[in-house]
């Protein structure tokens, strides 16, 4: 081999390892995006169905008016008693005069008594249908359960009584008066007609203006008892005859005297709790008409 060729061969073999080392240390190129296959996201079915048609409009009905019953008004037609329950066995709450008004709040089972709130009374009470007039829808009134009836064995007062007046006490009678019971001098017999006659005969025969300091508005009257009728239902009619001059009575004026006479008569009737309804007639007409006649 020639010397020049040997030198070239030695140089070539010296350079070759360096070239191989350089190739091994070279940084490889990163693959391009085109080398990675694109991923596909699957489309999942929706739970909400697509609308298939045009939505319909629902018509809301117009509200109808609700009927509210009007209050039932009551007017007292005659002297009457308002009680704690719907029959004469119950205690008396108040005595009522003709013309007093109120509102019925309920009724008993057969509609024969009204549970009422009367003007100027603090508590409600029961009043019989036969002594009042009503205006309004009574059939709409609620049925009220009354309190237990008091024992029927409660003894009645031993004596027949009538009523005179304690004047100007601020009471509910006459012109601010109080009614006071006076014995008629007879025991009760249990016969309602007989006992009523005894009470009225004692009242109308008393001609004293003041009896033991009790005022008697009937002291100048010429009124007498014409009779007493008691019906099977214990409703009664008391018949009076005679005359009374309201203009000549007392110092408080005729209106006071009329109210006092009326109260004496009615309280004498209603001392008997078994009476269901009473009518006092004077010379053939209602006593109030005769008292207030011009």
Domains in the chain, ordered, with CATH? 70-146 (2.30.30.40), 156-294 (no CATH)
| pLDDT tens by residue, 19-32 | 555 545 545 454 44
Cα separation, 247 vs 94, in Å, equals 29
Q: Which tokens hold the place of 15?
A: 């350079």
Identify the bridge partners of residue 238 per DSSP, sorted by sequence position. 228, 280
* Among 16, 165, 143, residue whose Cα is nearest residue 86: 143
Q: What is the model's pLDDT at position 118?
A: 92
Cα separation, 221 vs 248, in Å, equals 10
Q: How far is CA 147 from the centre of its chain?
A: 16
Cα separation, 189 vs 187, in Å, equals 6
Choose between 71 and 62: higher pLDDT: 71
What does the pLDDT average to over 108-128?
A: 91
| Entry pTM | 0.54
Q: How many CB atoms lie within 10 A of CB 227?
A: 13
CA distances for 134 relative to 79, 146, 194, 203, angstroms:
16, 20, 34, 34
Q: Which tokens hold the place of 172?
A: 């509910």
| pLDDT tens by residue, 227-266 | 999 999 999 999 999 987 665 445 566 788 888 999 999 9
* Among 288, 289, 262, residue whose Cα is nearest residue 172: 262
What does the pLDDT average to over 68-94?
A: 83
Q: What is the model's pLDDT at position 68?
A: 65
Q: What is the model's pLDDT at position 7?
A: 52
Choose between 155 and 172: higher pLDDT: 172
Q: Which tokens hold the place of 37?
A: 């296959």
Q: Report the range out of 53-62, 71-80, 139-148, 195-204 with the highest average pLDDT.
A: 195-204
Cα angle 92, 96, 99 (rounded to 5 degrees) comes to 160
Query: Hunting for tokens 């014409």 — which residue is that?
Result: 226
Q: What is the model's pLDDT at position 236?
A: 95
């Amino acid at each position: 081999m020639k010397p020049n060729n040997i030198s070239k061969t030695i140089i070539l073999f010296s350079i070759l390892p360096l070239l191989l080392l350089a190739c091994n240390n070279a940084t490889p190129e990163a693959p391009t995006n085109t080398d990675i296959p694109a991923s596909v996201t699957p489309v999942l079915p929706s739970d909400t169905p697509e609308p298939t048609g045009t939505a319909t409009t629902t018509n809301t009905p117009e509200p109808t008016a609700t009927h509210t019953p009007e209050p039932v008004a009551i007017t007292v037609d005659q002297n009457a008693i308002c009680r704690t329950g719907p029959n004469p066995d119950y205690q008396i709450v108040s005595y009522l005069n003709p013309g007093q008004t109120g509102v019925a709040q309920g009724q008993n089972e057969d509609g024969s008594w009204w549970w009422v709130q009367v003007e100027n009374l603090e508590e409600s009470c029961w009043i019989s249908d036969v002594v009042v007039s009503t205006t309004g829808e009574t059939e709409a009134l609620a049925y009220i359960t009354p309190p237990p009836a008091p024992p029927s064995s409660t003894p009645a007062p031993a004596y027949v009584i009538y009523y005179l007046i304690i004047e100007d006490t601020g009471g509910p009678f006459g012109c601010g008066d109080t009614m006071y019971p006076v014995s008629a001098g007879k025991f009760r017999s249990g016969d309602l007609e007989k006992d009523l006659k005894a009470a009225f005969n004692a009242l109308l025969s008393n001609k004293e203006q003041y009896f033991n300091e009790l005022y008697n508005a009937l002291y100048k009257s010429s009124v007498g008892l014409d009779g007493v009728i008691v019906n099977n239902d214990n409703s009664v009619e008391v018949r009076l005859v005679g005359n009374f001059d309201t203009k000549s009575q007392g110092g408080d004026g005729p209106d006071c005297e009329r109210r006092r006479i009326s109260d004496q008569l009615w309280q004498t009737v209603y001392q008997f709790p078994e009476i269901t309804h009473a009518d006092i007639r004077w010379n053939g007409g209602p006593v109030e008409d005769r008292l207030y006649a011009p």
